[in-house]
Amino acid sequence: MKIINGGVCAAKGFKANGIHCGIRKNHSKKDLALIVSDVPATAAAVYTQNLVKGAPLTVTKEHISDGIAQAVICNSGNANTCNANGIEIAEAMSALVERYTGVAAKNVVVASTGVIGQPLNLKPIENGMAELAAGLSADNGAAAAQAIMTTDTTAKEVAVEFTVSGKTCRMGGIAKGSGMIHPNMATMLVFITTDAAISREMLQKALSQDITNTFNMLSIDGDTSTNDMVTVLANGLAGNPEITAEGEDFNSFMQALNTITVQLCRMIAGDGEGATKLLECIATGADKEETAKIAAKSVICSSLLKAAMFGADANWGRVLCAIGYSGADVDVAKIGVSFRSAKGTVEVCRNGAGVPFSEEEAKEILLQNEIEILISLGDGPFGAHAWGCDLTYDYVKINGDYRT
Amino acid sequence: MKIINGGVCAAKGFKANGIHCGIRKNHSKKDLALIVSDVPATAAAVYTQNLVKGAPLTVTKEHISDGIAQAVICNSGNANTCNANGIEIAEAMSALVERYTGVAAKNVVVASTGVIGQPLNLKPIENGMAELAAGLSADNGAAAAQAIMTTDTTAKEVAVEFTVSGKTCRMGGIAKGSGMIHPNMATMLVFITTDAAISREMLQKALSQDITNTFNMLSIDGDTSTNDMVTVLANGLAGNPEITAEGEDFNSFMQALNTITVQLCRMIAGDGEGATKLLECIATGADKEETAKIAAKSVICSSLLKAAMFGADANWGRVLCAIGYSGADVDVAKIGVSFRSAKGTVEVCRNGAGVPFSEEEAKEILLQNEIEILISLGDGPFGAHAWGCDLTYDYVKINGDYRT
């Protein structure tokens, strides 16, 4: 498997585009994305567990209830959530896709991201559709990645090439972060495309399994969004024998999917609102996988630790504290903590108590922009990874007046 | 019942003092507090549920296992947690109290607050004990309140006078906040004293019941401390017939206790690290009390909403979002949201969707320093209160480099 360019258009038969249509006031920010497959694709999705759900999710769920989708339309600048006419607008967006691309409205995945509770005006979307559809191209994946951004500072796309039964397949994805990120059995907006042939059941299985170790182990700020969604469209154009059961081919697919999702997790965490650092907590030595996951996620969710990481302060007591209140069944007397980055590794706690360390060395390690927090929980065989970011002045600034 | 002065010394037979002994480098900050009852008192306590527990809690739990305590010693500047010799140091602190006041070491409540994982030096405490004990006085409750402060900007004390079977009783308390506050079946450091006579069982019952609606409904930053503890000492010197069962007298006692704890909650939340505003979420209309509590607490825990409140931004979508992911069993289509302060009330959401409102009016309301977030969940009879604060630049600043 190798990392390749092309993002959501890396796989055969996918075209995309992204434009500024006018939902956002800032003309330099794209706000409408479209992804279309040449042929109908097998589709799988996972959604937010928030009881407050965006209207686009309801419509998408209905549209892919038959396991088929052929296009994705997504606007930024407005979440189309908690609006009286939300469903109507999301259906109208699907109808516009049909009118301008020929893809049946019932095969359209609809998504919206942005502020909650303000009616979404269809007019700019209507006005922009001709331009959006005309620009659909296998070279425009990056434009789609840009058009789904909200407070993200960088577009997020990744693609891989892999092999299924000797056939070369490709898979790519785009994502938007970067606040209200604390997925719960679902995730933020992620659209993944592949030309691999895979059955509807196995595609959903692959996605549902994968997210438990990827997007569900990611947190920017503890707030689970109303509009979280990941979809995968698999159009089968690679020509591999369809994956219909577990086995070597399914494993190859899972590995490709995991490469995409881990990379997107890292991109989302590293570009968390206001973030200056990507934090990765790596738990080892747990008796159960669940224990490792609970502990690792609690560490990267701690506001106190996140602020300490911003300040490059090796305040490991906050790591222990976060493990202690996580609910994970751990023996505190066995916990070890180290911090690692490109500048080296410093051990700060062993067997639940501090060990002497050089504050200067720790500071140098923590001043890097990718920090690993290594927690060993004992002698067990299980581990977990979780991703997050530091808590900064800019997080407060961005969210102190998001709507203006 | 009326609010009176005197804090932890308002009740008969309690003396206190607080000094700077040298645990903290800043000479103007007191760091050692002592509270002593003239006679042994009935004692009750609740403790943090964090698996990582401060050594002082272990020692205190042992000391009051017989339901009796007569003194409280508490230092700030160091939590005496995750240290190899923590228990030894906490026992030594109790022994110092015995040496200087005559109160048996086994009747001493010991507490420490500050940084985790750095050995606590007994020397400054030893050196300060003579001065600390010599200054014990019924007029020095405020000094004790000051000496337990960490990043608190104001000392927190309150007292009330109430009546039990015709006898005048008094109760007072002190507390420290102000970060790592997200009590879980326990709370931060709070010491309450009363001269009411009450049995050990009823005292523990009163405390355990009360905190479920007070300290457990408080959050500054989502981090449950390792050193949380509330203790109540009741020395019986008011001369009321001992409260040994539920009934009118117990209700009077509960009411006094609740007045103390709600005031301390408000003080702690309003003085949260970096906070500029006290937030109170008032839930009504729930079918079950638990539903109201879960929803209200989720709202005041949301980083996004807390940042919006800092910016005086009526971004009610974040309130709905936080209710939606809270796990509370609510019907989103019935949720209403209003913001209220000394400047008035503004309704922003009804039946799960936005209602038109004046942004100017909302801004004026939200610029106040005490904000009520009113959430109505339906037609049920249950409600709840939760307390928190806004998320500000200063929270990040304070916690970006806490140890230096």
Contact check, Cβ <8 Å, A117/B320: yes
The DSSP code sequence of A256-314 is HHHHHHHHHHHHHHHT-TT-S-EEEEEEEEESSHHHHHHHHHHHHH-HHHHHHHHTT--
ω into B376 cis (within 30 of 0): no
pLDDT, mean of residues A264-277: 90
What's the pLDDT at B391?
A: 94
Contact check, Cβ <8 Å, B320/A400: no
Measure in Å the smallest separation between the Cα of A318 and chain B Cα atoms: 8
Is the pLDDT at B121 greater than 60? The verdict is yes
Contact check, Cβ <8 Å, B304/A226: no
Does the pTM of the predicted model rise above 0.90?
no
CB atoms within 10 A of CB A241: 11
Specify whether the CB–CB gap between A233 and A206 falls below 8 A: no
What's the pLDDT at B400?
A: 87
The DSSP code sequence of A2-34 is EEES-GGGSSTTEEEEEE--SSSS-TTS--EEE
Is the pLDDT at B185 greater than 60? The verdict is no
Domains of chain B, by residue range, sit at 2-270, 278-400
Q: Which among B113, B187, B193, B291 is annotated as catalytic?
A: B187
pLDDT in tens, B226-267: 888 889 999 999 999 999 999 999 999 999 999 999 999 999
| Band of residue A401 on the pLDDT scale cut at 50, 70, 90 | confident
Using a pLDDT cut of 90, give the percent of chain B over it.
79
What's the pLDDT at B180?
A: 76
pLDDT, mean of residues A295-308: 94
Q: Which residues does chain B have within 8 Å of residue A49's beta carbon, measured at their own beta carbons?
A: 325
Q: List the Cα angle B393/B394/B400 in 5-degree steps.
A: 95
pLDDT in tens, B58-72: 999 999 999 999 999
What's the pLDDT at A220?
A: 82
Q: Are strands B108-113 and B156-164 parallel, antiparallel or unpaired?
A: unpaired
What's the pLDDT at B115?
A: 87
What's the pLDDT at B386?
A: 93
Contact check, Cβ <8 Å, B311/A401: yes
Question: Of A224, A301, A403, which is closest to B313 when you measure between CB atoms?
Answer: A403
Measure in Å the smallest separation between the Cα of A118 and chain B Cα atoms: 7
Contact check, Cβ <8 Å, A396/B392: yes
What's the pLDDT at B179?
A: 76
Using a pLDDT cut of 70, give the percent of chain A over it.
98
* pLDDT averaged over every residue in chain A: 92
ω into B358 cis (within 30 of 0): no
Using a pLDDT cut of 90, give the percent of chain A over it.
79
Q: Which residues does chain A have within 8 Å of residue B48's beta carbon, measured at their own beta carbons?
A: 325
pLDDT, mean of residues B129-156: 94
pLDDT in tens, A48-63: 888 888 999 999 999 9
Is the pLDDT at B404 greater than 70? The verdict is no
Lowest mean pLDDT among A37-51, A104-118, A181-195, A262-276: A181-195
What's the pLDDT at A277?
A: 94
What's the pLDDT at B122?
A: 97
For B301-365, list the strands marked E by DSSP.
336-341, 344-350, 353-354
Q: Give CATH superfamily name and number for B2-270.
A: L-amino peptidase D-ALA esterase/amidase (3.60.70.12)
Burial degree of A194 (CB within 10 A; 0-12, 13-18, 19+) = buried
What's the pLDDT at A403?
A: 63
In a mutational test of the A interface, the residue from B118, B291, B325, B351 whose CB has the highest number of chain A CBs within 10 Å is B325
The nearest alpha carbon in chain A to B318 belongs to A116
Is the pLDDT at A86 greater than 60? The verdict is yes
Q: Which residues does chain A have within 8 Å of residue B394's beta carbon, measured at their own beta carbons?
A: none
CATH topology of domain B278-400: Ubiquitin-like (UB roll) (3.10.20)
Same-fold call for A2-270 versus A278-400: no
In a mutational test of the B interface, the residue from A184, A304, A391, A393 whose CB has the highest number of chain B CBs within 10 Å is A304
Contact check, Cβ <8 Å, A396/B310: yes
pLDDT, mean of residues A326-330: 92
Q: What sign has the CA pseudo-torsion B274, A315, A262, A345?
A: positive
**Could you tell me how far CA B162 lies from the centroid of its own chain?**
21
| Band of residue B110 on the pLDDT scale cut at 50, 70, 90 | very high
pLDDT in tens, B52-105: 889 999 999 999 999 999 999 999 999 999 888 999 999 999 999 999 999 999
Question: Of A83, A179, A349, which is closest to B117 when you measure between CB atoms?
Answer: A349
Contact check, Cβ <8 Å, B353/A307: no
Q: Which among A81, A150, A187, A193 is annotated as catalytic?
A: A187
A187 is catalytic: yes
The DSSP 8-state label assigned to residue A242 in this structure reads: P
Contact check, Cβ <8 Å, A222/B303: yes
Question: Of B302, B313, B399, which is closest to A402 when you measure between CB atoms?
Answer: B313
